[in-house]
């Protein structure tokens, strides 16, 4: 399978990239790791005339700390996310999630920004970004703006990104030291997208949950921030009844499709199991067990 013909651009600055994207509008696409875009081009599900490769733009790369936030450049690879000492210390859930994406080859090329910008409900990072209440920095012909991850996804492959815009970085508020976290992902086969997955970050006050945030991957046409489920675990010790209630509340907002990974009923059920297991694991971690 070979993609159709396209023009290839390799800008060296964000401004140049944005200019190219703006000039070609709907006919242009940013190219990052290519591990979602190129397969889609081979299948003719995407037929861009212009590819704007982001690889030669130094400003888009890297992970840094900015006060109480961590900022990850768009073309930072998933492998770099896994290898980052800073993230390991402050946001270990990122590496835990990245390790469950595809396989080492894909993680070596695939970028963090491509994963969140893409809009494929199967991508793992978007739900995690919603869980962490991250904010996306977008650059466009009219300047820069920010969009919260929780508002970015509108439907499968439909996002708040406008033609001509580029995602330059993601800002993630760092949860307090000692927070509990877990990304639980069920796969049909090794390296697959999620049958269902859940991200949880929580903090404790004594033995009870002080703050909690839950989000879900691949059980609807967009990632889902499970606000009701998150709210109902606060103030509890995550007893069995609460875990079940949270799982039920999360299941209630899912709308999975029947596919090769299982029936809709199965996938909804699994979303609940993932939530319960991620909550329990996050709790154990918060307690330092």
Ligand X SMILES: Cc1cc2nc3c(=O)[nH]c(=O)nc-3n(C[C@H](O)[C@H](O)[C@H](O)COP(=O)(O)OP(=O)(O)OC[C@H]3O[C@@H](n4cnc5c(N)ncnc54)[C@H](O)[C@@H]3O)c2cc1C
| Residues that bind ligand X in the complex, under the rule CB under 6 A | 29-37, 39, 54, 74, 101-102, 106, 110-111, 113-115, 117-118, 123-125, 161, 166-167, 191, 193
> Which CB atom, from 36 or from 254, has the smaller least distance to ligand X?
36
- Tokens for 73? 């450049």
CA proximity to 22, closest of 137, 141, 121: 141
CA proximity to 276, closest of 187, 193, 184: 184
In angstroms, what is the minimal distance from the CB of 144 to ligand X?
13
Interacting span for another protein (CB under 8 A) from 10-18, 63-71, 72-80, 262-270: 262-270
262 binds, among ligand X, another protein, none (CB under 5 to 8 A by kind): another protein
Query: Residue 189 interacts with another protein (CB under 8 A)?
Result: yes
> Which CB atom, from 26 or from 239, has the smaller least distance to ligand X?
26
Enumerate the β-bridge partners of residue 181.
201
> Which CB atom, from 5 or from 176, has the smaller least distance to another protein?
5
Rounded distance, CA 163 to CA 23, Å? 10
Query: Residue 28 interacts with another protein (CB under 8 A)?
Result: no
Query: Residue 182 interacts with another protein (CB under 8 A)?
Result: no
* Residues of this chain that bind another protein (CB under 8 A): 2, 186, 188-190, 195, 260, 262-263, 265-266, 269-270, 273, 277
């Amino acid at each position: 399978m070979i993609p159709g013909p396209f023009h290839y651009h390799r800008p060296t600055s964000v401004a140049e990239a944005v200019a190219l994207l703006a000039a070609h509008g709907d006919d242009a696409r940013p190219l990052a790791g290519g591990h979602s875009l190129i397969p889609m081009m081979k299948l003719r599900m995407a037929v861009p005339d212009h590819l704007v490769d982001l690889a030669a733009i130094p400003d888009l790369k890297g992970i840094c700390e900015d006060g109480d936030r961590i900022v990850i450049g768009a073309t930072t690879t998933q492998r770099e996310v896994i290898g980052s000492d800073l993230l390991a210390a402050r946001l270990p859930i990122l590496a835990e999630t990245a390790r469950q994406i595809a396989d080492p080859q894909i993680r070596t090329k695939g970028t963090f920004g491509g994963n969140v910008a893409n809009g494929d409900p199967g991508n793992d990072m978007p739900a995690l970004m919603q869980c962490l209440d991250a904010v996306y920095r977008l650059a466009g012909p009219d300047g820069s703006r920010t969009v919260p991850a929780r508002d970015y996804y509108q439907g499968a492959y439909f996002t708040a990104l406008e033609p001509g815009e580029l995602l330059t970085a993601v800002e993630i508020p760092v949860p307090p030291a000692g927070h509990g976290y877990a990304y639980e992902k069920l796969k049909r086969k090794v390296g697959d997208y999620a049958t269902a997955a859940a991200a949880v970050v929580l903090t404790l006050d004594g033995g009870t949950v002080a703050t909690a945030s839950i989000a879900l991957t691949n059980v609807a046409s967009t990632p889902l921030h499970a606000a009701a489920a998150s709210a109902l675990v606060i103030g509890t010790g995550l007893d069995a009844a609460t875990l079940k209630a949270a799982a039920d509340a999360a299941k209630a907002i899912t709308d999975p499709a029947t596919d090769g990974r299982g029936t809709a009923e199965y996938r909804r059920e699994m979303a609940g199991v993932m939530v319960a297991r991620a909550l329990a694991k996050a709790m154990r971690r918060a307690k330092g067990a």
